[in-house]
């Protein structure tokens, strides 16, 4: 119930609407309680005494009661739906904000599909608990309490028979509810697996088809899909046991009522109309109990999703601004990496005692074998991760002493794989600086050698791009990323193998744009193709997380170390071929 109460706490801003909805539910439920009393009057007054005047008022009462019930039923449905939808919107919004704030380390350990499942499947399951089940919970509880009250009023002795069964029903609901919450947790995990497998397969559609692995992917999907089916059937099994159990207990109570009530009618203790009314209330009592057991099971199942969602909302975000963090002033661009050691996994350092100094405006190249730690350095500069020891200083300020937003606003990144959004070309470039004018966006595109191909698009700068910009070539996507960085106008620039995936012609065009972008900025270039960094002010060669050597291109070649080995592999063997 803690999770359910926490979920209901989101209702607080909408409590007036909820109170109005509850009043509507109670009145609508109260109308249902009037019908058995009509049956009592029909039997005792109209049928036995042939009182047609009472019959007239009964007919009028039926019409009025159902009219009132209809009005308030509309009120309860609309108001509860409004409150429920607002709660779900708020929860989903908080969840999205959380995913925006967590450190990149979280995304390294979790699949995209699993993250999407929290926002879609888990929140969807919670929606049913807040809207549909909340209506049923209050409505059926109102009918239950009202029916018991009317039964006590009619005959308290017969009511005692009902009270004997209530604890047994409560025990059964509690026992089965625990099992349903457990199976509900498994269901949401299996749905998450299905979503993850689907997302992974769709994202890698070209790879799947190039290796002709359609049948293999179908088999993999069928496996997780079948596990989802098994989890759902386990939950159905528990539900199927709970409903007959509750119904059997209710039937025992009704049988007891018939036996004792029949005896009391034949002994003239109560009238036949009172017994029929009492039995009708008993049925009214049995139906809410049965429905409440189903609602309780549904809520327990939904609370498995709520536990997963609240687990995400409560988790440590990984990176925080210090309490006394200051806004970083406009920087000149001096970067000092001082004795930095960093590990993604404890005990397995990705960088060890690294020292690099870059003066403002310098081009710093980072080279080395795959997995040597080059991209790790690029991740530490904008503080996507915190160092284990040592420090990274920009203009003499430790990056941990300034706010992350003010730090990252002054660092531009052009990655190997550009991420474009499903919006217009104009808005994709403007992502670098949201307040930029159209003229500034176009100027940035021209500086990035992107304006020419953009003018050839169907709607030019207003052309809608497909998902991730896949309707553009790799070189075109990179030039848009460069335009985005130019618009941002950062003091420090990180180029993470920005041309390694391009063909020779596209690389030449993109490299020209990069050369313009790097002018006057401190640039860190992670290079696979050494031809792009011959003119670097300093080249740092990294291997196994350690700095092996550094210097200019000519100095490193003359030294005959690891850099020369990498150079020979790329150029001397290429010339021989």
State mean pLDDT over 297-304.
Answer: 74
Tell me if residue 567 falls in helix, strand or coil: helix
pTM of the predicted protein model? 0.68
Average pLDDT over all residues of the chain:
79
Q: Does domain 417-489 have CATH number 3.40.50.300?
A: yes
Distance of alpha carbon 265 from alpha carbon 278, whole angstroms: 12
- Residue 46 DSSP one-character state: I
Most confident of 44-53, 100-109, 376-385: 376-385
Looking at residues 118-144, what average pLDDT do you find? 74
Shortest CA distance to 481 belongs to which of 407, 415, 382? Answer: 415
Mean pLDDT for 480-507 is 76
pLDDT bracket for residue 393 (50, 70, 90) = very high
Q: Per-residue DSSP letters for 308-339? A: HHHHHHHS--S----TT-BPPPPP---EEEEE
The domains of the chain are located at 2-314, 320-410+493-498+520-577, 417-489
Which pLDDT score is estimated for 575? 46
The pLDDT of residue 110: 76
Q: Average of pLDDT values for 293-322? A: 78
Instruction: Tell me what pLDDT residue 159 has.
Output: 74
Two structure tokens written together for 471: 């309707």
pLDDT beyond 50 at 58: yes
Rounded mean pLDDT of 417-428?
A: 82
Is residue 162 scored above 80 in pLDDT?
A: no
pLDDT the model gives residue 415: 79
Per-residue confidence (pLDDT) for residue 49, from 0 to 100: 67
User: Is 546's pLDDT higher than 80?
Assistant: yes
| pLDDT bucket at 285, cuts 50 / 70 / 90 | low
Q: Do domains 320-410+493-498+520-577 and 417-489 have the same CATH topology?
A: yes
The least confident of 18-27, 96-105, 297-306 is 297-306
Give the mean pLDDT of 260-272.
Answer: 76
pLDDT at 120: 77
pLDDT tens, residue by residue, 434-464: 888 888 888 888 888 888 888 888 888 888 8
CA distance 365 to 362: 10
User: Any idea which fold 320-410+493-498+520-577 has?
Assistant: Rossmann fold (3.40.50)
Average pLDDT rounded to a whole number, residues 522-529: 83
pLDDT over 70 percentage in the chain: 85
**Residue in the structure block whose two tokens are 């209530």:** 166
**Superfamily per CATH, domain 2-314:** ABC transporter type 1, transmembrane domain (1.20.1560.10)
Half-sphere exposure of 465 (CA within 13 A, CB side): 23
How far is the CA of 150 from the CAs of 36, 39, 249, 252, in angstroms?
10, 14, 21, 20
């Amino acid at each position: 119930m803690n999770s359910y109460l926490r979920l209901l706490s989101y209702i607080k801003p909408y409590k007036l609407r909820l109170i109005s909805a509850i009043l509507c539910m109670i009145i609508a439920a109260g109308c249902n309680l009037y019908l058995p009393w009509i049956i009592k009057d029909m039997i005792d007054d109209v049928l036995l005494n042939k009182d047609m005047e009472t019959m007239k008022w009964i007919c009028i009462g039926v019409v009025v009661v159902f009219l009132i019930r209809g009005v308030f039923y509309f009120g309860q449905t609309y108001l509860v739906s409004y409150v429920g939808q607002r709660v779900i919107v708020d929860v989903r919004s908080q969840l999205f904000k959380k995913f925006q704030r967590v450190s990149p380390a979280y995304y390294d350990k979790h699949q995209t599909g699993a993250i999407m499942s929290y926002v879609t499947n888990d929140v969807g399951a919670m929606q049913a608990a807040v809207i549909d089940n909340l209506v049923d919970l209050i409505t059926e509880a109102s009918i239950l309490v009202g029916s018991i009250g009317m039964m006590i009023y009619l005959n308290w002795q017969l009511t005692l028979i009902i009270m004997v069964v209530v604890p047994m029903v409560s025990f059964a609901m509690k026992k089965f509810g625990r099992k349903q919450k457990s199976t509900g947790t498994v269901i949401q995990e299996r749905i998450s697996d299905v979503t993850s497998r689907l997302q992974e397969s769709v994202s890698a559609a070209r790879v799947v088809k190039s290796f002709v692995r359609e049948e293999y992917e179908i088999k993999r999907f069928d496996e997780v899909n079948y596990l989802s089916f098994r989890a759902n059937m386990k939950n159905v099994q528990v539900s199927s046991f709970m409903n007959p159990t509750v119904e059997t207990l209710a039937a025992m109570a009704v049988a007891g009522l018939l036996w004792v009530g029949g005896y009391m009618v034949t002994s003239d203790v109560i009238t036949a109309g009172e017994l029929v009314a009492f039995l009708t209330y008993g049925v009214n009592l049995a139906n809410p109990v049965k429905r409440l057991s189903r609602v309780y099971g549904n809520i327990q199942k939904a609370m498995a999703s709520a536990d997963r969602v609240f687990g995400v909302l409560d988790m440590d975000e990984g990176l925080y601004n210090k309490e006394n963090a200051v806004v970083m002033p406009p920087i000149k661009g001096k970067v000092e990496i001082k004795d930095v050691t960093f590990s993604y996994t404890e005990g397995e350092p990705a960088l060890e005692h690294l020292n690099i100094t870059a003066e403002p405006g310098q081009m710093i190249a980072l080279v080395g074998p795959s997995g040597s730690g080059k991209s790790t350095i690029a991740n530490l500069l904008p503080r996507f991760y915190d160092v284990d020891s040592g420090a990274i200083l920009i203009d003499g300020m430790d990056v941990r002493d300034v706010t992350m937003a003010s730090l990252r606003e002054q660092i531009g990144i052009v990655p190997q794989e550009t991420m474009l959004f499903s919006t217009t070309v104009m808005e994709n470039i403007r992502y670098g600086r949201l307040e930029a004018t159209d003229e500034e966006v176009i100027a940035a595109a021209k500086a990035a050698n992107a304006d020419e191909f953009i003018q050839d698009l169907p709607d030019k700068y207003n052309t809608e791009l497909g998902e991730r910009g896949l309707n553009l070539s790799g070189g075109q996507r990179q030039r848009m990323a460069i335009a985005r960085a130019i618009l941002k106008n950062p003091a420090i620039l990180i180029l993470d193998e920005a041309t390694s995936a391009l063909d020779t012609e596209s690389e030449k065009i993109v490299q020209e744009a990069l050369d313009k972008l790097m002018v006057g900025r401190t640039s860190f270039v992670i290079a696979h193709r050494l031809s792009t960094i011959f003119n670097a002010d300093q080249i740092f060669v990294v291997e196994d997380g350690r700095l092996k050597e550094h210097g200019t291109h000519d100095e490193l070649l003359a030294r005959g170390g690891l850099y020369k080995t990498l150079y020979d592999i790329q150029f001397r063997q290429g010339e021989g071929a």
